[in-house]
Chain A
Amino acid sequence: MFCLALGSTLTMTGRPASASDPVPVETPVWTGTGSCAAAACHGGRREPIGLKGSEYSFSEAYDPHSRAFSVLYNDRSLVIERNYRRLASLEAARPFEDDTCLRCHVHQGYDARTPWSRTPEFAVADGAGCEGCHGAAGKWLVPHMEYGWQGLSDRQKYEVFGMRPTKDLLARGQSCTECHVGLGSTDVNHDLIAAGHPRLNFEYGSQLAKLPKHWRVDDDKARHPDYEAKVWVLGQILTARASLDLLESRASRSIPDDSTSPWPEFAEYSCFSCHHELVQQGWASANATQLPKPGSLQWGTWSLPMAKVLGPLGPGLDADESGSTFGQLRELMSRPVPDAALVANRARAASDELGRLAESINGVRIGTGDVRNMLSAALKLDESSRPLDWDGAARRYLAIVALDKALADSDPSAPGRPDQSALGRLYKDLDLPLQVDRRGGIFDSPYRFDAERIKGDLRSLLSAHSNP
């Protein structure tokens, strides 16, 4: 119950307010990463890894977030900025001064036009620093060093002081999605991607697993015995919900007559719906012919496909069911110019539904039986549904890995673990991570993708799972 209530408070910046959201009345004040970095506080000895008080030192050395600002000086960033702002030359490009970039590359919520919201110590050079996840420290920097702080609840720390409860897996994930999926003004849209920015493919579980951590995962696991399962399940809902919030924002922003916001927004669709070379026997072309109308765009291929695996934990989330909330949205979004107002309404309703679901799941322990069922569902091919595309297959692979880990965690002797060599084959057949050497260059397109081969990999995984 506590978690449920806490979950509902986690929408401090950016996310469109729902009735249950608290209204932030004050402008947060950012004190900068330097305010955390004192040797006696979080800038202590880095080695051996894992020392308490080394959070800043560790992150500064190993966490790529700390380099989020400095990458804006590299060649790629200059090209992106030149293309995005249509500048005459690379010399004129200054991405490190462009709010569109800084909102995420410094941290979410940053705005160069609000200098009063920062203390003099705040430095953009710190990149996505501590406050990006923990919240603006203006109100809690001093109190959190004082006697009595430890006695406060996470809820009090957040509601009164603005410190985010990052120990809560839902709250933690939400702070990721604000940049890694996007929201409102932090929007990596198709214009920006075409200019050269990488596409955002957020997957909470796998990205959290890969992040060099300045905290102990054992502590997470002690707090959440179902840690692996919960991160994965919440991740499905978080990505889907953040995508819907972003969709609502994109649709709404495009409605005014004088709007310059792009609509339709191509970043909503599978990149490979369009971005594939035309070949006589290609997977993308073959997939395009299997849609209700040949050549229509495929929406939500990254954010939605695994939600249906949640089964009883998340009923009604199957986008392949035409009457479902997602199914209706997908139908709307497959039109060449979807009705923006209708899309915004539907996306809002679907996001609210997911918000309630996330809170309820966050409050319960996910059992071994649930994990086993979800793993079975992830392995099972639904031959009658839409064509298997790379996005869906990659998400499926990530689901199998995460749920396998969750199963191992909850019951190390559990039978029916996926065959690791078959899993390796699937990884290879998906060309993961997506970098394909071809014609003397590196491609981000899965041009070798073969749906039949992937289905074969999945079948052999399923058979090992069903007949341990």
Chain B
Amino acid sequence: MSKLSWWKRTAMAAGVMIAAVAAVSVQPRQGRSAEPQAPAPGPAAEKPKYRYFGSKSCDQCHSVSKERPTNTPEAIGYIYLDEYTRWSTEDKHRLAFARLSSERGRRMAGLLKADVTKRETGCLGCHSAGTAETSSRRQGNLFDPNEGVSCENCHGPYEGWALDHTQPDFRGWDAKKRAEKGMIDVRVPEIQAAQCLSCHIGDAAEGKVVTHEMYAAGHPPLPSIEVATFADFIPRHWMLVDEKAADKVKEAEGYRKGELERTKLAIVGASVALNTSMNLIAQEYTTPAKDVPGQAWPDYARYDCWSCHHDLKRESWRQARGYEMPPGRVPVGEWPLPLVRLGIARIGMEDADGAKALNADLERLQNELHEQASNRPFGREQALIKAASALASWSVVVTKKLVGLSYDRIIAFDLLRALVEEARKTKPDYDAARHVAWMIKLLVEDLKDDGFAREEKEEKQKDGEKAKKMASIRAIMAKDRPAIESILSRLDDKLKLELPAGRKYEIEDFLGPALEKIGDYDPDQFQADLDRLAEILNAK
């Protein structure tokens, strides 16, 4: 039986099932469909519709082969067509399952007294498309967990869309239509962010939770994550819309000239990160999985790691800084907040009153979260869930506003200034500082690329005012370039902004130095760097 006929059968079967289940493979979570939705804690009610088959069928088209030795954007104009090859040779996600049997994985298994390669213990939620019992995923006969985190983990199970996506009209399908067939449209920033963060922060409904017991047994800490930066480090096997050669595709994907896609993804990603982390707190304890080691309330892993895990210093910067909550209580992780506030600043450029209201909401919701997390150590379960849910729901509104806005270079410069100005007023902890630093780096990169000069030239011809602004920004960025580079390189060094990209580095080589940086982190130094950067950016 040919593959094509198998695809046809699959597609037909899928078509029948669409009618039966409306919200196909879309969790009630932000970003999983085109429309952001409020969180609804609890296990997925419907039986999953599509099964996971793994990457073997993708290999047939999305890889370099003898018959098709090279693939360039020019070949098709919007995809490389060697995605499978890149994933299987360069991308660490491919090794996610194999890692469970590494020395660290075996040691963890021994300490947890659990077979970490079995779905019951919850590891496969992230280390494969295999899953914990709470998950909505089902596996087809071709499925092989050894593939690790493969195509379907991000793009959705292909059972419903394998055939469709080879058809010419497929490029015109929007995220909603794709979602109906089980495809996750990762071209949409909030969907892409939600998909990455479902593992890199966690999603209890999909059985993707790292508990404190797992960490204590040796799981590396999950750091703060800036989605656009992390995506580049995978390394990226897709083109940004701007990089696509096919104009029709660009048009279909809503391309706007001068739009900074990575900046947009980073800002939207921060809001989605807040949603994901708050949902994890709200959702986790309503979906306990008895075989997952350490999953019970309160799980220390839902709180800020570095509040406890630091050596005790006589002149402590935490004590010198003071506390927003009663000292000695454990806060939940809030590292996305500085960039969420930056998102509100972006909203404020269009709607000052709206931004003011959002900031007031955030302050109120954050105070409530602090209160509920700290009125006793770890807080009280139901009240904390309620506070976290409220913040999660609010973040959906913010995300929705953010995705509708544009992000050009003039805006990026204003954002950079606003970010530096806000961040230097506080003494963020390591995770938040790193998140901020990634964003600064990204904005600086977006402001220095060659496209900026070209764009300025074009603008000169039609809009004198805009071109003038651009010239002034380019002058500021160019004048103090060495000083900016030196600040960035110090941030890089102090916060370890470089990630163990692709297969070049082993996590085991990276982890030791990375953890040392956390211990060495000095918020005063970070603040001093931002002060200097603010001086440069605010120069007349």
- Count contacts on A: residues with CB < 8 A to the other chain: 46
Q: Using known A-B contacts A189-B328, A271-B312, A275-B312, determine if residue A336 contacts B323 with beta carbons closer than 8 Å.
A: no
The answer to whether the Cβ of B172 comes within 8 Å of any Cβ in the partner chain is: no
**A residues within 8 A CB of B308?**
274-275
**A residues within 8 A CB of B442?**
none
**B residues within 8 A CB of A80?**
319
**A residues within 8 A CB of B299?**
336
Q: Identify which of B216, B320, B329 contacts A294 (C-beta below 8 A).
A: B216
Q: Identify which of A83, A86, A266, A295 contacts B213 (C-beta below 8 A).
A: A295
The answer to whether the Cβ of A339 comes within 8 Å of any Cβ in the partner chain is: no
Q: Contacting chain A: which of B197-205, B262-270, B348-356, B511-519?
A: B511-519
The answer to whether the Cβ of A215 comes within 8 Å of any Cβ in the partner chain is: no
A-B CB contacts (within 8 Å), total count: 126
Q: Contacting chain B: which of A17-25, A191-199, A455-463?
A: A191-199
Query: How many whole Å from B396's CB to the nearest CB in chain A?
Result: 30
- Interface 0/1 of B484-515, CB less than 8 Å to A: 00000000000000000000000000011001
Q: Identify which of A263, A271, A276 contacts B377 (C-beta below 8 A).
A: A263
- Interface 0/1 of B260-302, CB less than 8 Å to A: 0000000000000000000000000000000000101111100
The number of chain B residues touching the other chain, given as a range, is 35 or more
The answer to whether the Cβ of B15 comes within 8 Å of any Cβ in the partner chain is: no
For B520, give the chain A residue with the smallest CB separation.
Answer: A439
For A277, give the chain B residue with the smallest CB separation.
Answer: B519
Q: Are A293 and B319 in contact, CB atoms less than 8 angstroms apart?
A: no
Q: Are A295 and B300 in contact, CB atoms less than 8 angstroms apart?
A: yes
Query: How many whole Å from A164's CB to the nearest CB in chain B?
Result: 33
Q: Are A191 and B378 in contact, CB atoms less than 8 angstroms apart?
A: no
Query: How many whole Å from B216's CB to the nearest CB in chain A?
Result: 3
Query: How many whole Å from B113's CB to the nearest CB in chain A?
Result: 9
**A residues within 8 A CB of B540?**
none
The answer to whether the Cβ of B221 comes within 8 Å of any Cβ in the partner chain is: yes
The answer to whether the Cβ of B464 comes within 8 Å of any Cβ in the partner chain is: no
The answer to whether the Cβ of A114 comes within 8 Å of any Cβ in the partner chain is: no
The answer to whether the Cβ of A142 comes within 8 Å of any Cβ in the partner chain is: no
**A residues within 8 A CB of B216?**
285, 288-289, 294-295
Q: Using known A-B contacts A263-B376, A275-B308, A439-B520, determine if residue A84 contacts B327 with beta carbons closer than 8 Å.
A: yes
**B residues within 8 A CB of A192?**
327-328
Query: How many whole Å from A280's CB to the nearest CB in chain B?
Result: 4
Q: Are B512 and A279 in contact, CB atoms less than 8 angstroms apart?
A: yes
**B residues within 8 A CB of A295?**
212-213, 215-217, 294, 300
Q: Are B311 and A275 in contact, CB atoms less than 8 angstroms apart?
A: yes
Q: Identify which of A254, A293, A337, A435 contacts B298 (C-beta below 8 A).
A: A337
CA distance A458 to B511 in the complex (A): 33
The residues in B between 315 and 347 inclusive whose CB is less than 8 angstroms from any CB of A are: 315-316, 319-320, 322-323, 326-329
CA distance A445 to B308 in the complex (A): 13
- Interface 0/1 of A308-341, CB less than 8 Å to B: 0000000000000000000000000000110000
CA distance A228 to B221 in the complex (A): 48
For B112, give the chain A residue with the smallest CB separation.
Answer: A294
Q: Using known A-B contacts A277-B310, A295-B300, determine if residue A83 contacts B323 with beta carbons closer than 8 Å.
A: yes
The answer to whether the Cβ of B313 comes within 8 Å of any Cβ in the partner chain is: yes
CA distance A116 to B162 in the complex (A): 86
Query: How many whole Å from B305's CB to the nearest CB in chain A?
Result: 8
Q: Are B327 and A195 in contact, CB atoms less than 8 angstroms apart?
A: yes
Given contacts A265-B377, A336-B296, 19 further A-B pairs with CB under 8 A are: A83-B322, A86-B327, A195-B327, A260-B376, A262-B329, A275-B312, A277-B515, A278-B221, A278-B515, A279-B515, A288-B216, A289-B218, A293-B213, A293-B294, A294-B213, A336-B300, A337-B378, A438-B311, A447-B311
What are 30 A-B interface contacts by the 8 Å CB criterion? Answer: A83-B323, A84-B327, A190-B377, A191-B328, A193-B328, A194-B319, A194-B323, A195-B327, A196-B319, A260-B375, A263-B376, A265-B377, A274-B308, A275-B308, A279-B512, A279-B519, A280-B511, A288-B216, A289-B218, A293-B213, A294-B112, A294-B213, A294-B217, A295-B215, A295-B294, A336-B297, A438-B311, A441-B315, A442-B314, A444-B313
